[in-house]
Structure 1
């Protein structure tokens, strides 16, 4: 007679024994008997949900990602004997000898259940609990009988060791911890291999009712349950009564620990959203599949994140910003109301595009919107002049070519507003003539509006987009050279990085490699650099922008150990302030402004904010710290250029530009706000 048939007969006869309940039990017993004779039912043990791990660029564990179940499966060989024996002594003392069902316990439970008119007592073996984890929590008599039958079949499919390993990685220990590894981390901030007998006894005692026996919420109940568990371990001969007495007085855990943190900062949130949104990473073709993979698939996600650079960026930002609030400052708007301001910092590797640091706002716990990467961006101010400079050099102009910077300057703007478009230099300076390099160092508004029209604003748009600007740009706006359009800080960092990288643009990226739980490589980043500027243009632009840091508007960003190039930016009414710069190794964008809306920063810490004030200081302190001790590397020298020429627009286009043009290449027909330094 088969084991299953024996079990079914025992269940039927035990049920019939309770005469008062025969009528209620008989139908269920019949179905159980049928189940024993039916075609064997397949029991599929799907892969366990497993948390995903996020690593930084050096391989350090940065975060865990999981949904409802925090689980880190471990092989049975990695689980210490004290944990295995404690669980077996408490939950299933005959595990190694029974064949999936403990008939004596099952029949005893059946009598109790029949008498109660339902399922009042368990009697489940560990094998039956594994089956239950697959089938769900229904507790009908028929369901319990089916579990028993499937448990017998499971014991024929798997070894005892395989069943035990599955159980120890499946069972719930409360506080979101599934499996012994997550439980060890949750309660003691250690791995399962480090648990002693007292800790093992506590875990074993929690299993039956993890909420009721929660040691953090119900310490008195948990302490008593641990005492009972230790007694069972003594009865099994695994420890002495004296040892049990000592373990019974071990302090209980008082708070939930997190050996591996959750994703709670701007960089990690960016990684998570990229994986959920983009099917190209090979973890799922649908949003549902990607969600399952990220939070339950046991992925190993290796990122570009540099924790040291992140810490230095945060420190520089917090040190330089006025006030006592880390990551933010308060200032008054024009009607006297307090406004929250902040600064963001984003750094890319100029040779690869890898994002090394990302400070996206005042603090992720209170402000989750990532200013550096999300939305339409913030007005660039004069930091956009770099794209005009690059377009000019791409078109064949050279840094020694001269252009008028006299102001105020006015330009016909038919069909646009205002008409004429009137430009003031920063501080209402009268300006004057000078080379492109000199006008860059002055951040002359009038010179750059003229230069934009000489080069052609469509050419400026084309160059900016080749260098990585992804936000909308329109060539018909005369104020484009002054940063009237919004840009994203991460785009600005990568764009300036192409100058330091001899004209090769690398798209910013965050994920280096993704592995499955078995180590299979699912995704590997491939270099995707493309030429945005000629080598000569990039080297000439680096030369001009380096001069701007040593003797122009960017002097507060000067470095002690490395050359640096960059450009300040101050948008209309000082509502946005920038410093974007690069070294031979990194490109970094710093933006400062109100967290919501455009609010003039006329008095922040007693300073009228410009890109050359707080943003340049943040950039300088940060990059000095990052590059401290690094051997100096110089920018490559450009080839020699022709002598400088005078660049002019036609007098009817630029009445104050002194003369007629021989090189006009197109101009915009609209206008917009924008000014900068």
Structure 2
């Protein structure tokens, strides 16, 4: 950094001429004589002359708000999630600072604080004589001057100029000192002594990221500033000279910090702030043993709970233009702006989610259990949990310690998601109904092979169709299979979706326009990736996408399913409800952003099937007999059984549940053999259900709207399901060794 040129030494100015004539030592003599500064004890012509000279000194006290921590809260506005700060500061009134602390800082830094007018003539004279006769340097800064210096440094940091003095880039010049002195005099004329002392005790650095006596007292001993005793107060006062050199929480510093503390105590004794007995008692205390250091972690890693949601919300914050021109400016606001951030997180649901994912994490595998919940009517994220330890600083190979948010996408600290398998099948059914068909229509689900080169209707593609292309290493034909026995036959679209019959879904897609399916998934905001493709909308040029070949994030899928809980209206996920600055001003944030994208009757027809999938899962019967409230959803198992999911919802909550490996696509089971009857219905659904049976009743749990002319209107049977199992037929599930690489062989029951 280039040296700053001070106008003080421009010889064209009056002050410059005086400096050139008198020299620095003469100026110090003037200071000592009280001729330059209007000290409290000086008046008349001398003060007038000093004021005239200082009038031309360029000085203005640029004050900026003090950096204060920002706090993130759950939706109740009371439950703290995390705190963020560059400077850990808790502003406090002087009356809430112990007398011991006030005495200690005055005794060591400015024993004549209440007697001077901002600059101490005796101190200046003493320092001048010392500095011109000794090899060491001595300062003469009063508390008022130090306060001015801290205010200037704070303004430099806030304005983006940085703290050049604290960084050690440049020593203070005489110009800096003279400017500081002038400002100190001005401050003394505008503020009372107690106001100056209060300001100083709130702004001063006290080691690490601790600023001000309240934050420091809490950090070093877990007490408030009002509770500081002589020994503690002397320790803090001693830090002022070199905050990080004397900070006692660093083991190598403890001895010198204690020596410095004892120096402060000695000054307190000399100036009659403490008695001989109090001095002896205080210096006898072992400083290291007296400390009760509180956690120094800050941000989401130190969150009380909801660490992964916290991380997601911070990404939302730093991507929002309402909080600054760029991400760096927004991060600075978060760290220094004293914001109150109220999020959408439901604290009770979050705690339940965290408990449930830990209960359902597969043991002995590198797999995690995930949950995220959303309010279908607003898009508010209510919970977000995964059974790993949140740690953005971890550099080990421990898969269980990660900051990767597996519920979210790469824009929010996550990835591109996981193959969902059969959870994409309801959108094929919905597109079928949108095209003017019914869930009760029958399709030929007996076809297990499709010829490569065969053309499929796709009106949005060039030529109005796509060709089924052969991949490297593929067989001569594209083949699919089912898990249920004897299911390669004609069946209704509804029956095929209920039992997750792959051949039925593929037959449905083959009988319609593929672009009708991708048009629907586009409206529902579904984006994903497949091998060799970038993240983007689902593509109709690979028909196998209907069986779940693409990777999609759990949150994206949950948003799409939430539209089925909300009569076809989809909402943008949001994590932040309101943000208020340190002065109580609210930032302008958007309300819920929702749009109807699917006809409610289409949704109602597909919901008829998904209600039965959820309510008739065998796990419901084992736990409760009948479903305790109306629910709907769909299971999905990817082709390697490395991930299983259940996307489900009630009227008031949509929840995505995943159990998935993190680092590879191998089976959840180490030997690669998936036990019989073990699919998403017996792995992911219990995770979803154990969570939802606790949290769903806290929100709306009414019946889903009925479809017009629904074939099931005559056979609803309350919460226990809309089918009788005898009407559906039966089949025995069995694991298959020839699962298709592009899809899912999934027995939902």
The CA deviation at 1:614 is 2.2
Paired residue for 1:668? none
Question: What secondary structure sits across from 1:425 in the alignment?
Answer: coil
**Residues 389-398 or 408-417, more deviating:** 408-417
Paired residue for 1:348? 374
Residue of structure 2 aligned with 1:521, choices 586, 596, 605: 586
Paired residue for 1:659? none
Rounded Cα–Cα distance in structure 1 between residues aligned with 2:640 and 2:646: 17
Paired residue for 2:388? 362
**1:110-149 matches, cutoff 5 A:** 110-116=128-134, 120-133=137-150, 134=152, 136-137=165-166, 138-149=171-182
Deviation string, structure 1 residues 161-200 (Cα, Å, up to 9, x no partner): 4432331122111132111222122112344344444433
Paired residue for 1:182? 215
**1:546-561 matches, cutoff 5 A:** 546-551=611-616, 561=628
The CA deviation at 1:631 is 8.1
Rounded Cα–Cα distance in structure 2 between residues aligned with 1:234 and 1:271: 52
CA gap of 1:75–1:465, structure 2 versus 1, over 3 A, is: farther
The CA deviation at 1:512 is 0.7
Question: What secondary structure sits across from 1:342 in the alignment?
Answer: strand
Rounded Cα–Cα distance in structure 2 between residues aligned with 1:523 and 1:568: 39
The CA deviation at 1:145 is 4.1
Paired residue for 1:538? 603
Residue of structure 1 aligned with 2:695, choices 626, 633, 639: 626
Question: What secondary structure sits across from 1:613 in the alignment?
Answer: helix
Rounded Cα–Cα distance in structure 2 between residues aligned with 1:452 and 1:391: 9
Rounded Cα–Cα distance in structure 1 between residues aligned with 2:143 and 2:189: 15
Residue of structure 2 aligned with 1:272, choices 314, 317, 323: 314
Paired residue for 1:65? 84
Rounded Cα–Cα distance in structure 2 between residues aligned with 1:563 and 1:166: 59
Paired residue for 1:612? 681
The CA deviation at 1:514 is 0.9
CA gap of 1:526–1:630, structure 2 versus 1, over 3 A, is: closer
Question: What secondary structure sits across from 1:588 in the alignment?
Answer: strand
**1:393-412 matches, cutoff 5 A:** 393-406=433-446, 408-410=448-450
Paired residue for 1:372? 407
The CA deviation at 1:35 is 7.3
**1:190-205 matches, cutoff 5 A:** 190-205=223-238
Is residue 384 from structure 1 mapped to residue 428 from structure 2 by the alignment?
no
Is residue 417 from structure 1 mapped to residue 469 from structure 2 by the alignment?
yes
Question: What secondary structure sits across from 2:654 in the alignment?
Answer: strand
Rounded Cα–Cα distance in structure 2 between residues aligned with 1:223 and 1:247: 11
Rounded Cα–Cα distance in structure 1 between residues aligned with 2:622 and 2:203: 55
Rounded Cα–Cα distance in structure 2 between residues aligned with 1:320 and 1:362: 12
Rounded Cα–Cα distance in structure 1 between residues aligned with 2:258 and 2:216: 17
- The answer (yes or no) to whether the contact 2:98–2:225 under 8 Å persists in 1 is yes
Runs of 4+ in 1 over 6 A off after TM superposition: 7-11, 32-35, 556-559
Paired residue for 2:553? 488
CA gap of 1:125–1:14, structure 2 versus 1, over 3 A, is: same
Residue of structure 1 aligned with 2:706, choices 638, 643, 656: 638
Residue of structure 2 aligned with 1:434, choices 462, 473, 491: 491
The CA deviation at 1:639 is 3.9
Question: What secondary structure sits across from 1:372 in the alignment?
Answer: coil
Is residue 169 from structure 1 mapped to residue 202 from structure 2 by the alignment?
yes
Question: What secondary structure sits across from 1:344 in the alignment?
Answer: strand
Residue of structure 1 aligned with 2:264, choices 229, 238, 255: 229
Rounded Cα–Cα distance in structure 2 between residues aligned with 1:567 and 1:277: 33
Residue of structure 2 aligned with 1:102, choices 120, 125, 149: 120
Rounded Cα–Cα distance in structure 1 between residues aligned with 2:144 and 2:116: 10
CA gap of 1:522–1:428, structure 2 versus 1, over 3 A, is: same
Rounded Cα–Cα distance in structure 1 between residues aligned with 2:65 and 2:267: 32
- The CA RMSD over aligned residues, in Å, is 3.4
CA gap of 1:487–1:224, structure 2 versus 1, over 3 A, is: same
Deviation string, structure 1 residues 357-413 (Cα, Å, up to 9, x no partner): 222572221312222112322211001112112223333433333333335343564
Is residue 446 from structure 1 mapped to residue 503 from structure 2 by the alignment?
yes
Rounded Cα–Cα distance in structure 2 between residues aligned with 1:537 and 1:193: 65
Question: What secondary structure sits across from 1:523 in the alignment?
Answer: coil
The CA deviation at 1:538 is 2.6
Question: What secondary structure sits across from 1:524 in the alignment?
Answer: coil
Is residue 153 from structure 1 mapped to residue 182 from structure 2 by the alignment?
no
The CA deviation at 1:474 is 0.5
Q: Which runs of 5+ in 2 are unaligned?
A: 1-14, 31-49, 154-164, 302-306, 392-400, 410-414, 455-466, 471-475, 529-536, 713-739
- The answer (yes or no) to whether the contact 1:483–1:676 under 8 Å persists in 2 is no
CA gap of 1:639–1:37, structure 2 versus 1, over 3 A, is: closer
CA gap of 1:568–1:184, structure 2 versus 1, over 3 A, is: same
Paired residue for 1:649? none
- The answer (yes or no) to whether the contact 1:101–1:148 under 8 Å persists in 2 is yes
Rounded Cα–Cα distance in structure 2 between residues aligned with 1:102 and 1:131: 15
Deviation string, structure 1 residues 2-43 (Cα, Å, up to 9, x no partner): xx99x99997448579xxxxxxxxxxxxxx999746244212
Paired residue for 2:543? 478
Paired residue for 1:572? 639
**Residues 120-129 or 605-614, more deviating:** 605-614
Rounded Cα–Cα distance in structure 2 between residues aligned with 1:163 and 1:310: 45
Rounded Cα–Cα distance in structure 1 between residues aligned with 2:653 and 2:258: 56
Rounded Cα–Cα distance in structure 1 between residues aligned with 2:62 and 2:379: 45
Rounded Cα–Cα distance in structure 2 between residues aligned with 1:308 and 1:159: 48
Rounded Cα–Cα distance in structure 1 between residues aligned with 2:367 and 2:244: 44
- The answer (yes or no) to whether the contact 2:420–2:550 under 8 Å persists in 1 is yes
Q: Which runs of 5+ in 1 are unaligned?
A: 18-31, 324-328, 331-339, 645-670
- The answer (yes or no) to whether the contact 2:651–2:700 under 8 Å persists in 1 is no
Rounded Cα–Cα distance in structure 1 between residues aligned with 2:643 and 2:83: 35
Paired residue for 2:577? 512
CA gap of 1:605–1:571, structure 2 versus 1, over 3 A, is: closer
